[in-house]
Structure 1
Amino acid sequence: MQFLQKVRDFRELVMFEHSIFSMPFIFIAMITATQGWFGFKLLLFGVIASISARNFAMAFNRFVDRKFDGTNPRTKGRPSVDGRISPKAMLLFIVVNALIFIAMAYAINPLCFYLSFPILIILASYSLMKRFSSAAHLVLGLSLGLAPIAGVVAVSGEIPLWSVYLCIGVSFWVAGFDLLYALQDIEHDKKEGLYSVPSVFGVQKTLWISRIFHTLTLIFWALFVKEANFGLWMWIGFVVAVAALCFEQYLVSKHFRNIPRAFFTINGYLGIAFLGFCIVDLIDK
């Protein structure tokens, strides 16, 4: 029972269920690169690499942000703050997941291995960036935006133009909804001197910056669909993405209590839906 409780604590630490944000775009890239099924081996390695990279990033964030999380009413109940997980245990967890990610990259191909080190640096830099610059939201976006790049490199060993468009789109998508999520902590960030966009620019400007980011998301996703020569089904998926992001912006602008629904539910389903339309499009060819 104690072991199971510790597993639940670590799952809460890294918010494991949120892996759903980046994982669909890894597989979109892999499916697009191979124009079909890429094999069970790469599926297994891709899943393990994605989970270990995200575990590393989230645990590192929780470790270095313990001080700030302890003064924030929204986060003071996290396992990293209330003593359920010790700093030493977090450090061990961070190192183990970094090694797993590097090992998976090595097992896939040399380019993945070489890229694994700068990717880990980027994943870790988000947690430190917000102490110095409000560009932290874009760094977080890039952290997830690298997922499709990693996916296409895993199956083809190269970085085609369409994967760059997909990467940029995902980066702006994540940065856009992270801006909305950060609205919950605007007063805390001001008090602690953290450079989130809401604490620096205020609520209304943050809402508009988020809308601009999501507009850029849709532009680059449209370029991805066109460059990768998808058909009708993927364009329908694009229209679904437009509707989802518009609805997300509407919910948050209506009332901030809708932020969790907009952040978790809509964005989670969006990635899965985009992957689904990608699969159907390739089957229909």
Structure 2
Amino acid sequence: MTFWTKFKDILDLIVFKHSVFALPFLFTAMIVASKMVNDSTWFGFKALILGIICAVSARNFAMASNRLMDEDIDKDNPRCKERPNIDGRIGKKSVWIFILINALIFIFCSYFINPLAFYLSFPVLFILAFYSAFKRFSSLAHLVLGFCLGLAPVAGSVIVMGEIHLFSILLCLGVTFWTAGFDLLYSLQDMEYDKKVGLHSIPAKFGSNATLFFSAFCHCLAVIFWLLFAWVAPLGKLAFLGIVICALILFFEHKIVRKNFSHIDRAFFTLNGYLSIIFFIFMWVDLLCN
């Protein structure tokens, strides 16, 4: 097996393209924090490089841990049969090594950011690993996953300011409910399988109609917390316009899914990927104009 083939298998294992969901919110928090501290959106190369490495290594750790812990339930799920750890392309030992390496990278880089980042690196890794176990006994696993992504803007505040600012908490809550909302839609694909194996997903427990309602409710909360974030930051009219556009994207996401569940993948990745990038761009341009 060539290095390039192995590398592609690893990217497939962690679904690297989904990194687009959290990174824009990390950068949003970093530019807002920098504007508050330095009156500039540029936070420096050290914060940029260490922030990216921490974000990527934390996500790698979380995804690989999820794949390893869920191997027993994923092996019989038709949707998961082509994952590298299921079809044999990547062995369990290799996944363990990958998890350990990324955990050490995350802790090591956190140490060079500031003391708070280092101290928080350990509970953060625990939370990221805990998600996979949570869905085995609680329907709130969707919110736990959301909180894992919601930690990104909190990290942005810690990296630049050395503290957890209120704006990052509000943005964290917005990202948490946004992620939980689209994870609920995505989990509709596994509703019958989750029932069969006894997983505590909301679709398996309450059905598709209730799931659509809970998802819409989560997205309404996400928009509310994003508006509160923009107000506290403080941001201007362009930021609020960006949030309105993101709300419209979420509206169309629900419209697509309600019309046909076969479009869940398109709604999940394409629309939410655009949303996170659009959110960052509007916040950044707003700060540049202020």
Counterpart position of 1:177: 182
Q: Give the C-alpha shift of residue 258 in structure 1.
A: 1.0
Is 1:23 aligned to residue 23 of structure 2? yes
Aligned residue in 1 for 2:4: 4
Measured in 2, the distance between the counterparts of 1:265 and 1:90 equals: 28
Unmatched tracts of structure 1, length 5 or more:
none
Q: Give how far 1:104 is off.
A: 1.1
Which residue does the alignment assign to 1:217? 222
Provide the C-alpha distance between the structure 2 equivalents of 1:31 and 1:163, rounded to a whole number of angstroms.
11
Which residue of 113, 137, 141 maps to 1:136? 141
1:121 aligns with 2:126: yes
The aligned counterpart of 1:105 is: 110
Q: Secondary structure at the match of 1:132?
A: coil
Say if 2:261 is the partner of 1:256: yes
Deviations 1:173-210 (CA, angstroms, capped at 9, x unpaired): 00000000000000110111000110011100000000
Deviation at 1:276, TM superposition (A): 0.5
Q: Does 1:239 align with 2:244?
A: yes
Structure 1 Cα separation of the partners of residues 22 and 197 of structure 2: 29
Aligned counterpart, 2:38: none
1:274 lines up with 2:286 in the alignment = no
d(CA) in 2 for partners of 1:83 and 1:242? Answer: 41
* SS of structure 2 residue aligned to 1:84: coil
Name the residue aligned to 1:153: 158
Work out which of the residue numbers 167, 173, 176 in structure 2 matches 1:162: 167
Q: Distance in 2 between matches of 1:197 and 1:212?
A: 13
- Match for residue 89 of structure 1? 94
Equivalents in 2 of 1:210, 1:46: separation in Å? 30
Provide the TM-score with structure 1 as the length reference. Answer: 0.99
Instruction: Report how far residue 158 of structure 1 moved.
Output: 1.1
DSSP 3-state at the match of 1:158: coil
Query: Runs (4+) of structure 1 moved beyond 2 Å?
Result: none
Rounded to whole Å, the distance in 1 between the matches of 2:264 and 2:111 is: 39
The aligned amino acid for 1:242 is A
Task: Output the CA distance in 2 between the equivalents of 1:266 and 1:214.
Answer: 13
Alignment of 1:45-56 (within 5 A): 45-56=50-61
Instruction: Report the 3-state secondary structure (helix = DSSP H, G, I; strand = E; otherwise coil) of the residue aligned with 1:74.
Output: helix
Matched residues in 2 for 1:126 and 1:283: separation?
A: 37
- Per the TM alignment, residue 78 of structure 1 is displaced from its structure 2 partner at its CA by 0.6
Deviation at 1:269, TM superposition (A): 0.7
User: 1:163 Cα deviation (Å)?
Assistant: 1.1
TM-score (normalizing by structure 2):
0.97
Aligned-residue Cα RMSD (Å) equals 0.7
C-alpha separation between the residues in 1 aligned to 2:47 and 2:167?
A: 20
Q: Which residue of 2 aligns with 1:13?
A: 13
3-state SS of 2:163 partner: coil
* Equivalence for 1:33: 33
Per-residue CA deviations over 1:8-32 (Å, capped at 9, x if unaligned) read: 0000000011111000000100100
1:66 to 62, 71, 79: 71
For residue 85 of structure 1, what is the amino acid of its counterpart?
I
